[in-house]
Amino acid sequence: MLAYRISQYVHGLDAAVAATVNEAVALVPAFADRLAAADINGVREVADLDPLPVLGKDELIQAQQAAPPFGGAVAPNARLRKVFASPGPLFEPQLAGTDPWHWAEALRAAGFGAHDVVLNCFGYHLSPAGAMFEEGALALGATVIPAGVGNQELQIQTAVRVGASAYTGLPSYLKALLEKAVAAGEPLAIRRALVTAEPLPDSLRDWLASYVDTVHQAYGTAETGLLGYETAPNSGLALPDGVLVQICDPATGAPVVDDSVGQVVVTLLRPEQPLVRFGTGDLSAWRLGADSSLRLAGVLGRIGEAVKVRGMFLHPRQAAQALAAEPGIAAYRFVIDRVEHRDTLRCELVPAPDADADLADRVREKIRSRLRLAADVVCVPALDDGPVLDDRRTW
């Protein structure tokens, strides 16, 4: 049954993928070159793209550095509304049109609608996440409070006075807001929440459910938008319209047609932005929902060295670039852990012999400004031979 559902899903997108790819060849010269390099002369179905190597995030960053800002991956005449910069830096365009990232589909499944005032606690500063969820909520006719991240007291006051009924953001951040609101004697009236960008273990889901009637989880990336969403708690992730989602063997790139774990690989149905066979770096697997529909099992891990901290990716290369200009560091390590359902980040430094007393303060500011993450910085006498990013979280 699973193999049949996978085949049915893929073949159902053959015509749309072929039309997208063949139109993109005429619009985006760099994309035509990529197909030619893989000896692909025409596309009639999804399987015709299988010889194309998976495009990873690192390769996309390299292409953008060679041909800024988008590596030639966007049609020269494409109408852009905004340009974002994720850590890397990786530049992401917002194309013209309503809800270009398709998040309205996930919001609707969680009960969001025109009756809602949505407290949107995803970041707005250069990050696409805030805009993604705002566009999705506006497409449903909802009102949006662009809360972003930080200043929880003001967020709570605004949510109470404006009458916020729904929430989008990290699940851990929702827990922090609810706790602070109760402690301040201003309980929130949020009844619906769509959360993403970090795991939602059952213990945290149960805690949130004691305050919020509906808590659904979704999955997407800054480059692709929505890739899967719950229709009920622990239902598996339903697949959205407007995108081809595949599970592929991390070593060969071949599509997986059973329940084996593989990399999530995405093809957007956007001729003016032909992001084709893009490897998200996330691991998942196919499963069947209660209604026998094809679902993703959720994010089961990552390939490569990057880790996600408070919804933001941190890569060893980024850490090295952020600290490269600081001569007072002999060695360093980032330790990621989780306390009370919230990520913690600590940078352990071994000072060089000539380091001054302000080293920790300067490093803390560099991490904040260049990696966009707040971290505790501590000086230690020595470090072992462990990884630069030491992820100690368990779920």
pLDDT in tens, 261-281: 999 999 999 999 999 999 999
Radius of gyration from C-alpha coordinates of the chain? 22
Tell whether the model's pLDDT for residue 97 goes beyond 90: yes
CB 349 within 8 A of CB 363: yes
Tell whether the model's pLDDT for residue 122 goes beyond 90: yes
| Distance of alpha carbon 358 from alpha carbon 296, whole angstroms | 48
Tell whether the model's pLDDT for residue 307 goes beyond 90: no
Tell whether the model's pLDDT for residue 395 goes beyond 70: no
Determine the pLDDT at residue 9: 97
Residues of the chain with pLDDT > 90, as a percent, come to 78
Query: What tens digit of pLDDT does each residue of 130-175 get?
Result: 999 999 999 999 999 999 998 999 999 999 999 999 999 999 999 9
| Distance of alpha carbon 166 from alpha carbon 143, whole angstroms | 10
Candidates 309, 305, 226; CA nearest to 264 is 226
At 274, give phi and psi (nearest 5°).
Answer: -75, 75
Count Cβ atoms within 10 A of the Cβ of residue 305 and give its class: 0-12 exposed, 13-18 middle, 19 or more buried: middle
| Distance of alpha carbon 196 from alpha carbon 25, whole angstroms | 34
- Distances in Å between the Cα of 9 and the Cα atoms of 23, 115, 246, 281, 319 are 22, 33, 10, 22, 40
Candidates 209, 228, 206; CA nearest to 217 is 228
Query: What tens digit of pLDDT does each residue of 311-347 get?
Result: 777 888 888 888 887 888 888 999 999 888 888 999 9
| Distance of alpha carbon 329 from alpha carbon 314, whole angstroms | 19
| Distance of alpha carbon 92 from alpha carbon 78, whole angstroms | 13
Give the number of C-alpha atoms closer than 13 A to the C-alpha of residue 124, restricted to the C-beta side.
14
Q: What is the mean pLDDT of the chain?
A: 93
